[in-house]
Amino acid sequence: MSGVTRRIAVVTGAGSGIGAATARALASDGFEVICAGRRSERIASVAEEIGGTALTCDVTNEEDVARLAEAAGPSVHVLVNNAGGALGVEDVVAADSEKWRTMYETNVIGTMQVTQALAPALIASGAGTIVNVGSVAGHVVYEGGGGYTAAKHALAAITETLRLELNGQPVRVTEIAPGMVKTEEFSLVRYGGDQERADKVYAGVEAPLSADDVAEAVRWVVTQPAHVNIDLLIIKPIAQAAPHKIDRTR
C-alpha cells in the first residue's frame, strides 16, 4: 500500500471480544490495523488472521503506551479505545477498592494515556477519528454496578471534553455505548471466573448483541464522510429496554 493511501488504525484490547471483532472489521475495509493488548498470544493470533501488527501493550503502563505510539508512526487515521472491562457486582458499601482502582485505571486512565500519545498522529493524518467504546453503564446506573458505572460515566465525560478541546482540529470524537453484548469473556471476568453466574446474565435472552454487531457500528462511524461526527451511538439488543428491563421470555 502506498504512503498516499495507507490508513492506520489502532485498536486497544484487540485480543478478544469487541476489540478483536473491530480489528477484523477495519482490516476488511482496508485499514492497516495495529492490534494492541496485554495478552501477546491473543493479539498475535488476531493480527496474523487479518494481516495486521501485534503489539503487547497494557494501556495503564506509560512505557507500553509510548511504544504503541512509536509503532503507530507519525500518522494515524483511527484510534479505537476499547480496552476496559468490569470487575465485581458488589454494592458500593461493600465495594472492593482494588477492583474499583483497576476499572478506573483501565477504562479511564488508560484511555487518556493512549489518546494523549496518539493525538499528534491523529491530527497529522488530516482526518482522524477517535472511537471510545463506552457502555450504557456510562449513561445510566444500576445496583451492583457502582464501580463500573462510575468508570464508564467518566469515559463519557472524557469523550465529550475531547470533542470540545479538539474542535478546530481534523479529528472526530465518538462514543459507542453498547448494552448487553455476549462475548466469551466480559461477564466471566466480571464474576471472577464463575461460569454459571456469567451464563445467567444472558439466560432467556433470545439475541443479545454480539461483538460483531458493535464492530459494525465502529466501522460505520469511521467510514462516514470526514465532516460527519457521530457524537454518541447507544446500541442495545431489542430485548433490552434498559439495564434493569430485559425480556427473558424467549
List, edge to edge, every strand of the sheet that includes 128-133.
53-56, 32-37, 8-12, 78-81, 128-133, 171-178, 232-235
> In which residue are the cell numbers 458493535 written?
214
Which residue in 104, 148, 191, 202 is the catalytic one? 148
Distance, CA of 57 to CA of 86 (rounded, Å): 19
3 state DSSP class of 224: coil
DSSP 153-177: HHHHHHHHHHHHHTTTSSEEEEEEE
Q: Is 148 a catalytic residue?
A: yes
Q: Are 139 and 177 in contact (CB under 8 A)?
A: yes
Q: Are 14 and 46 in contact (CB under 8 A)?
A: yes
Residues annotated as catalytic (active site), given as ranges: 148
